[in-house]
Amino acid sequence: MGLAGGAERAEALRKAIKQLHLAHRGRTLGTITASFGVAAFPELGASWAEIVNAADRALYQAKADGRDRVVVGLGKAHAERQQARPSKSVA
């Protein structure tokens, strides 16, 4: 399937979840949203652990970006470069 196919499938699921109308104990719940982190072999890793870590980093990025979205992982090398950057401090 690859990254593009995985991202397309995750986006279709995200949209379908948002269209759900759920009720609990007779009360309609608000809009349900979902965030997805997408990773694929071999694009983002050579082992199961690397793929899961790439998907996990992408999911955290989706949440940091405002939730209700799909983020495709960028791989371990990109994550290491991001961690090596000095953090910006807010005064």
Fold of the domain spanning 2-76: Alpha-Beta Plaits (3.30.70)
Q: Are 90 and 82 in contact (CB under 8 A)?
A: no
What percent of the chain has pLDDT above 90? 78
88 pLDDT tier (thresholds 50, 70, 90): very low
Higher pLDDT, 55 or 88: 55
Query: Mean pLDDT for the chain?
Result: 86
Give the global pTM: 0.76
First to last CA, the chain: 46
